[in-house]
Structure formats: C-alpha cells, structure tokens
Amino acid sequence: MRKLTERGIRLKKILEEENFVALEAYSGGAQDVLGISRKQKGLEKLKAGLENLGLKGLTNWMSDHELDAVTCAYLGKLF
C-alpha cells in the first residue's frame, strides 16, 4: 500500500500543477452513503445500483475495479 500511496501523492501533485482539482474517494463508503450494494454482494447488484442513479453505458463485463471507478467518477461529478 505504501507504493500506491506514494504514487497517488505524485499524481496529485502533477494534476494540481496542471490546475486540476484532485479528489480522494473511497468507493465502498460512497456506495454505502448512496444506498447501493457493494461489490461483495454481487457485481450485478452494484451495477444495478449505479444504473438506478442514472448512469448509462455500464456493461455486464465490467470488473469490480471498473464499477468502483465508476462510483468514484460519479462522486467527482457530484462534487
């Protein structure tokens, strides 16, 4: 985890130097707050929850990581 943390810090600095706002998100916590199922309860339920939020373009072949990324992107959009 240390290497991932260090990588995230470096990426944040690069993004902020280009005048982007960098946000940190925790997909599982966000899914709880949004009232949708987490991936541990099944990817189909997570995907359905995201679709119920109005998100489109999700496929049945998306991985748990991709659906978590969609959750975090949705949070960014809300921000």
Cα gap 7→4, rounded to integer Å? 5
Range of the domain at 72: 24-78
Residue 4 included in any domain: no
Give the pLDDT of residue 1: 80
Among candidate residues 44, 48, 56, 50, the one with its CA nearest the CA of residue 31: 50
Long-range contacts formed by 46-52: CB under 8 A, 24+ apart = 50/74
* pLDDT (tens digit per residue) in 5-49: 999 999 999 999 999 999 999 999 999 999 999 999 999 999 999
> pTM of the full predicted structure?
0.85
Structurally, the chain folds into a number of domains equal to 1
Residue 11 included in any domain: no
Residue 55 included in any domain: yes
Residue 7 included in any domain: no
What number of other Cβ atoms are within 10 A of residue 3's Cβ? 7
Q: Which two tokens stand for residue 6?
A: 């260090």
Residue 16 included in any domain: no
Residue 40 included in any domain: yes
